[in-house]
Amino acid sequence: MGEEQGLKAKKEDFKAWYAEVIKQAELIEHTRVSGCMVFRPWAYFMWEQIQKYFNKEIKKLGVENLYFPMLIPKSIIEKEEGHIKGFKAEVAWVTKGGDSKLEEPLAIRPTSESVMYDIFSKWIRSWRDLPLKINQWCNIVRWEFKTPTPFLRNREFLWQEGHTVYASKKDAEEEVLKILRLYEKIFKELFAVPVIMGKKTPKEKFAGADYSTSIEAILPDGKTIQAATSHHLGQGFAKAFGISYLDKDGKRKLPYQNSWGISTRSLGVVIIAHGDDKGLVLPPALAKYQAVIVPIYTNKSKDLVLEEARALLRSLKGVRAYLDDSDKSPGWKFNHWELKGVPLRIEIGERDLKANQVVVVKRTGEKKIIKRSSLNVKALLKEVHDELYNKALDVLNSKIKTVYNKKELYDAIKSGFVAKSCWCGDESHEDELKEKLGAKSANMPFSEKLFSDKCAFCGKKAKYVVLWSRQY
């Protein structure tokens, strides 16, 4: 475990810091296939917390979980033209079974619209079959050719994909936003990360969608990351897959569809947003252990201290607490649990027994001595959550620069900011920005109103407010 020492400083060498922290904190293990990694229990637990929370909320909306197979016949995945165009470069194919060549190649799902909607066309016959609301938790394969980065850019990752079908466009569009707000809530309440809700520019929308909405997080280096998306698909897929229903008026109609997802990419946001030079800093809602008790004793006081530490553990009801009674030194334990990001450390030693107190150290920095009788771990965890959230909110607010012309816009991005500008809607500005700075539109925030009548790029009439950024 000596290798746990010596994390690179996050600010100085971010890439090295990230690679080391996810490995040493036992979140992931690399495998022999590049871009395909093991989600170790410490990371998988976080994913399970997201699942628990999200399942509860979508079930309230009448969404049911199910499971579709991962193999999609070529003829099916190619049915909706815009859709396959968007994914073609990253689809992995199964072409052989044993030694024999398959008659039709099978795509490994890069997303499940096609395989699902082919079946939806059988399930949906009349207005009585609507709305249809389903969700699945599964793995996805997208054969990225950029360098894979664990969580952020994996070839295989985990997600949920919700797919719904409505008779009314209005109902479908309302749901798009309802789900987006739910994702925002997950980021706020579980991740302690504020995000920006908005609409993607047409260029950045999901392949085959009418429009896409997203939540975007801004990380300390000024890059943004698309944290979750909710799409309104309109009727394009219904047309392509022959989904129609007989309405009350006896007429056959096309329904409106949505799809929405959050993936294990979001865990990368948590790691980058909160981590520091000592390692991970986990928000309490995602930490497998929210508090770790470290007993400090001599040979003579060992039994007595351990006995009290066990009693303390038993008293922490409704908290995911762990007593580290291993034979490692207290200093080793401090480093280890800090590296793994545990929100609270509770130290209990011989002196503390006598004084009827414990020493509490928050992973966010503060250390205090607290009387046993007034120890409120849940309140302390809430403090840690709020501190993390507020710090991330400061980052978000300090990293956005409002710009009025092209020079300001390019300068802002070059110096590590997210540029907020008014835009005329011309996609050639997006192409140029991508080519020159490797930056793109993040989204068009719902909360923003036009603050200039001129497009920052060309001076023509502005129609939208856009966030431009370098992105993960």
Nearer CB in complex with Zn ion: 8/463: 463
Number of residues that bind Zn ion (CB under 5 A): 6
455 binds Zn ion (CB under 5 A): yes
**Could you tell me if 421 and 468 are in contact, meaning their C-beta atoms sit under 8 angstroms apart?**
yes
Span from 5-13, 146-154, 337-345, 460-468 in contact with Zn ion (CB under 5 A): 460-468
Contact flag: residue 457 with Zn ion (CB under 5 A) = yes
Residue 313 binds to Zn ion (criterion: CB under 5 A): no
| Pairing, β 37-39 against β 71-73 | unpaired
Lay out the site mask for Zn ion across 53-72 (x = CB under 5 A, - = otherwise): --------------------
Q: Which of the ranges 13-21, 351-359, 423-431, 446-454 carries the binding residues for Zn ion, by CB under 5 A?
A: 423-431
| Binding region for Zn ion (CB under 5 A) out of 246-254, 296-304, 388-396, 451-459 | 451-459
444 binding Zn ion? (CB under 5 A):
no
Contact call for residue 432 and Zn ion (CB under 5 A): no
426 part of the interface to Zn ion, by CB under 5 A: yes
Regarding 4 and contact with Zn ion (CB under 5 A), the answer is: no
Phi/psi at 86 (nearest 5 deg)?
-70, -25
Does residue number 464 form part of the binding site for Zn ion (CB under 5 A)? no
Pairing of strands 28-30, 64-65: unpaired
What are 312-318's contacts with CB under 8 Å, separation 24+?
312/346, 312/348, 312/358, 312/372, 316/291, 316/377, 318/378
Closer to Zn ion by CB, 113 or 204: give it. Answer: 204
Stretch of 12-20, 136-144, 146-154, 458-466 lying at the interface with Zn ion (CB under 5 A): 458-466
Which residues contact residue 135 at a Cβ distance below 8 angstroms, ignoring those fewer than 6 apart?
58, 63, 64, 65, 66, 160, 161, 162, 163
The amino acid that residue 166 corresponds to is Y
Q: Which stretch binds Zn ion (CB under 5 A): 17-25, 103-111, 329-337, 448-456?
A: 448-456
What whole-number distance in Å separates Cα of residue 182 and Cα of residue 424? Answer: 30
Amino acid at 264: T
Question: Which residues fall within 8 angstroms of residue 447, CB to CB, at 6 or more apart?
Answer: 196, 197, 198
Which residue from 424, 432, 437, 463 is in contact with Zn ion, where contact means CB under 5 A?
Answer: 424
Q: Nearest 10 degrees: CA dihedral of 155, 159, 163, 169?
A: -90
For the bound state, the minimum distance from the C-beta of residue 205 to Zn ion, rounded and expressed in Å, comes to 19
**What part of residues 120-149 is at the interface with Zn ion (CB under 5 A)?**
none
* Cβ at position 422, least distance to Zn ion in Å: 9
- Report the residue number, 130 or 462, with the smaller CB distance to Zn ion: 462
Cα 417 to Cα 349: distance, rounded to the nearest angstrom: 47
Please tell me whether residue 254 binds Zn ion under the rule CB under 5 A: no
Q: Which helix (H) or strand (E) holds 22?
A: helix 14-24
Strand partners, 349: 296
Residues that bind Zn ion (CB under 5 A): 424, 426, 455, 457-458, 460
